[in-house]
Amino acid sequence: MADQARGKTNWRRVLTRDELADGRVKPVTCEHRTLCMTHIDGKFGALDNRCPHQGGPLGEGTIENGLLRCPWHGWDYDPLTGNAPGFDDGVETFPVEVREDGVYVALPEEQAHQTTVTDLIAETLVNWGIAAVWGMVGHSNLGLADALRRQEEAGKLRYFGIRHEGAASFAASAYGKLTGRPAACLAIAGPGATNLLTGLWDANVDRSPVVALTGQVDTQVLGPGAFQEIDLAAAFGKVAQWSQPVLQSSRHAELANLAVKSAILNRGVSHLIFPDEVQTLPAPEKAKAGSPTGRLTAREIAPPAESVDAAVELIKGSKRPLIVVGHGARFHMAPITELAELLRCPVVTTFKAKGQISDHHPLAGGVLGRSGTPIASWLMNESDALIVLGASFSNHTGITPKRPTIQVDYDPMILGKFHKVDVPVWGEIGVTVALLTARLASGGGTEDQAPQIAERWQIWRREKERRLGEERGRGVSSSAVFAAMNRTVPEDAIIAVDVGNNAYSFGRYFECTRQSVLMSGYLGSIGFAYPAAMGAWAATLEDDPRFAGRPVIAVSGDGGFGQYMGEITTAVKYGMNITHVLLNNSELGKISKEQRAGDWDVWQTSLHNPDFAKYAELCGALGIRVTEASELDAALERGLAHEGPSTIEIVTDADLV
């Protein structure tokens, strides 16, 4: 095909003289242009690498009978002129010169980048505060990925390429739980998008703001069943509280505004679907990126006065009130603690809220429910009124319906969701608690429960000390693992915890000071911990003083880590300073326990594991293997001091939990 008229060109050396044998072809990339270089009968040709029919990579083709054959559908072209013999079409070619130092090609000067609709959307996401994206770049999201690349190169966001899209959505979910701000996850159409779903359901049920960005097949082939075509709006169903396709006719910045606004205000998943051909469309003239300016109102809304009056009256009539805090109260613990100190009443937490008050505070009663301590259960049994803040009364939590109850939540649908409560209060938790404190300034007639709380802690700590002596020669006990963590883990650590016996033992034995704890709460998804730690680590790189520079720890079992063990290579790639405490009992121990409790045979819960410490080393991380309790402190201290990812594999006894 004859060369097209071009403006200014640049000669580029693309091959050495002997690099391409006669009768061979090779793809060569110069800046953003990929060429198909050919060599036949001593002459070199330079063709556009993209076949004009299906986009096949001609540089991966072959020369047969003097013609270049497309590897995708067998169409033939002249390897020097680009013409298709017997047809009018062909491939664009470029001038070639063979010089002493190599083969040169004249390429047209690259045109300045023209802003695309995805550039506009990516800038809008950044303007709304999205600072981190986890995902996998693929063939149906390349235009969008390039827009994100430009924002990253401008220093406006961080992008982390993961090994499985499920890790991307878990990381984004954990980031939202920790910070209260949305992050994003990126996937291709079809299987990439569906791989996001578990982590997005985790965000959905734990009310974490996330924006999911998925590619999609071209609009023109949507419907008949194109390669990797899935009805993504249907596939995401109820997991996304807001989902929209990005179309040629869309108001693109406005779509991005609505996506992030919905994620923030509805505290859930927003989903933008990007058909392939839309991603590189030029943005309309004078179009500007969106921002939150004028889009968000203050959300510190006071509850109705009559609700506050009723709550005050119930508390004034109580002698032994108990405050129960859930994950929804995590950003309001200062006023909650002030109220507890005024009433001299205990504060217990749901498991998902573990660490929101220090276990060393004189009014802290630990975790309530299946993963909790006998302290919290005793305090609930002895209470005469409950003040429940940001908790949903899940069946795992164990909040009794048999006590007069005040429930405060920002979501009116949560109030009295599982059973009626005496005083449902619809309001922002911090504002509501401050109002209660002001109205109860005298402290009322409540008893000082601090001495009994201290007594219960003494009883429980003596029991934990006795359990340290348990040893069966089958591995380290969980009580020993978390006693060592109590001694070595920094007070400001962020700890991501998986599900299973490792989580139950963490809830019982680890005593929080100022640590922040992340977990897959209502979904309870195995595999959460390591990707969640990656999400938390990203938050520590930012300017937010609540998280900047804090150490990050993942606690998992061997079953959970096996789900996403490839992500250790992601941590190595980005230098993530994550200390992984891995309890390896070669078993799905919690499931074995449930089988025994239900009078079932223990079946298919054993695991065949590698040496995880050696695996970590093979991936480029620090790996330490612990087989004796006496080795724990030194191993943990070494792992915590290591700059970069480390894994402390602890061989544990599945029954000593």
Q: What is the pTM of this model?
A: 0.92
> What pLDDT sits at residue 523?
87
Residue 355 to residue 349: CA distance in whole angstroms:
8
Residue 188 to residue 112: CA distance in whole angstroms:
27
Q: 464 in helix, strand or coil?
A: helix
pLDDT exceeds 70 at position 522: yes
3-state SS record for 350-386: CHHHCCCCCCCCCCEEEECCCCCCHHHHHHHHHCCEE
**pLDDT tens for each residue of 324-379:** 999 999 999 999 999 999 999 999 999 999 999 999 999 999 999 878 889 999 99
The 10 Å Cβ neighbour count of residue 524 is 15
Residue 304 to residue 586: CA distance in whole angstroms:
54
The 10 Å Cβ neighbour count of residue 546 is 13
pLDDT band at 54 (very low <50, low <70, confident <90, very high): confident
Read off the pLDDT of each residue in 280-298 and give the average, rounded to a whole number: 93
> What pLDDT sits at residue 472?
86
**pLDDT tens for each residue of 442-500:** 766 899 999 999 999 999 999 999 999 888 889 999 999 999 999 999 999 999 999 99
pLDDT exceeds 80 at position 230: no
What is the chain's mean pLDDT, rounded?
93
- End-to-end CA distance of the chain: give it in Å, rounded: 74
Residue 184 to residue 146: CA distance in whole angstroms:
15
Pick the CATH number of 305-452 from 1.10.287.3510, 3.90.1010.10, 2.40.100.10, 3.40.50.1220: 3.40.50.1220
CATH superfamily assigned to domain 117-278: Thiamin diphosphate (ThDP)-binding fold, Pyr/PP domains (3.40.50.970)
Q: Residue ranges of the domains in the chain?
A: 9-108, 117-278, 305-452, 468-651
Instruction: Name the residue among 178, 353, 200 with its Cα closest to residue 263.
Output: 200
Contact 326, 352 (CB under 8 A): yes
**pLDDT tens for each residue of 96-119:** 999 999 999 999 988 889 999 999
Please state which CATH class domain 9-108 belongs to: mainly beta
pLDDT exceeds 60 at position 6: no
> What pLDDT sits at residue 443?
63
**pLDDT tens for each residue of 366-420:** 999 878 889 999 999 999 999 999 998 877 777 889 999 999 999 999 898 888 9
CATH architecture entry for 468-651: 3-Layer(aba) Sandwich (3.40)
Least confident of 73-77, 229-233, 435-439, 605-609: 229-233
**pLDDT tens for each residue of 574-624:** 999 999 999 999 998 889 888 888 999 999 999 999 999 999 999 999 999
* Concatenated DSSP letters of 59-70: GGSEEETTEEE-
pLDDT exceeds 70 at position 271: yes
Q: Do domains 9-108 and 117-278 have the same CATH topology?
A: no
* Concatenated DSSP letters of 293-355: TTT-----PPPPHHHHHHHHHHHHT-SSEEEEE-GGGTT-HHHHHHHHHHHT--EEE-GGGTT
Token code pair at residue 453: 């709380």
Contact 175, 124 (CB under 8 A): no
**pLDDT tens for each residue of 170-216:** 999 999 999 999 999 999 999 999 999 999 999 999 999 999 999 99
